[in-house]
Amino acid sequence: MAYNNIVTDTKGPVGIIRLDRPKALNALCAELFEELAEAVDIFEKDEAIGAIVLTGSEKAFAAGADILEMQPKTYMDVYKANFLTGMEERIDKCRKPVIAAVAGYALGGGCELAMMCDFIIAAENAQFGQPEIKLGTIPGLGGTQRLTRAVGKSKAMEMCLTGRMMGAEEAERAGLVSRIVPLDDLMDEAVKVGTEIAKLSQPIVMMCKESVKKSYETTLTEGLMFERRLFHSTFSTEDQKEGMSAFAEKRSPEFKNR
């Protein structure tokens, strides 16, 4: 598929989406958002794809929503169009694992897009931030919510109120990223993890993702019950029988996604 702002590719069972709008440091314009949503849809429907890696360039994952596009918009424009909502829902509702491989700037909507993914692998040069306050606005793609849940109130509040950037090491210490890798290894590592996940049972992976996500949105008691019921339901799958039999028989499992 030919796009203007992204490039898609596959590496075995991993779908790769690369944000590719270098003249604006991958700023998230409306067309890019649409293309991204379409690419996620296509990979999600493709049974051969077990995980998706979302990445940008070495200089920028994405430097935020497109400021020049937003600048002339009125309140009525953004309210009536429910600006950004469809995009957020699309990525957030993707049932397959989405890994953000972040190098360079992940600012504003770029940081928020990375946080919408299931986990973030960061290159050593990654810089995260919510600089919207410096533009006279606030994060609008989940920054005040997801960053707070990821790093806690104090750091999220400081980041959102000052707009300062945090580097990869601070982001890893704070729990925003799962790990840091050298810039040159970023895609190999992300694809390697995606491939490992894609070799597992896809429906069980989906259940696991659903259960972890639930912890964001519910009380501990309800979350534990949700997890327990999903756990129970895995016992109705062929893949759970295969996984446990393979362990008992000291061989590798062959999952059938059933």
Selected binder of ligand CAA within 143, 194, 203, 243 (CB under 6 A)? 143
65 is catalytic: yes
Give Dmax over CA atoms of the chain in angstroms. Answer: 65
Catalytic residue among 27, 60, 65, 190: 65
- Among 43, 105, 128, 255, contact with ligand CAA (rule: CB under 6 A): 105
65 Rama sector, left if φ>0, alpha if ψ -120 to 50, beta otherwise:
beta
Look up 109 and say whether it is catalytic: yes
**Pair of tokens at residue 51:** 């995980």
Chain center to CA of 34: 16
Q: Map residue 174 onto helix, strand or coil.
A: helix
Name the segment binding ligand CAA (CB under 6 A); options: 139-147, 200-208, 229-237, 241-249.
139-147
158 a catalytic residue: no
Q: Extract the tokens encoding 109.
A: 């909507």
Best CA proximity match to 94, nearest among 2, 213, 5, 237: 213
Tell which one of 13, 56, 97, 139 touches ligand CAA (CB under 6 A): 139
Taking the complex as a whole, the smallest distance from the CB of residue 230 to ligand CAA amounts, in Å, to 32
Catalytic residue, candidates 27, 64, 88, 112: 112
User: In whole angstroms, how far apart are CA 134 and each of 67, 108, 130, 145, 149?
Assistant: 12, 11, 9, 19, 22
The residues with which 7 forms a beta bridge, in sequence order, are: 18
From the list 50, 104, 109, 142, the catalytic residue is 109
Kindly identify the residues of this chain, within the stretch 23-82, that bind ligand CAA according to CB under 6 A.
24-25, 27, 63-68
109 binds ligand CAA (CB under 6 A): yes
> For residues 81 and 43, is the Cβ–Cβ distance under 8 A?
no
Taking a C-beta distance cutoff of 8 angstroms, is the pair 57, 20 a contact? yes
Nearer Cβ to ligand CAA (27/94): 27
| Interface residue list for ligand CAA (CB under 6 A) | 24-25, 27, 63-68, 84, 105, 107-109, 112, 131-132, 135, 139-141, 143
Which residues does the annotation mark as catalytic? 65, 109, 112, 132
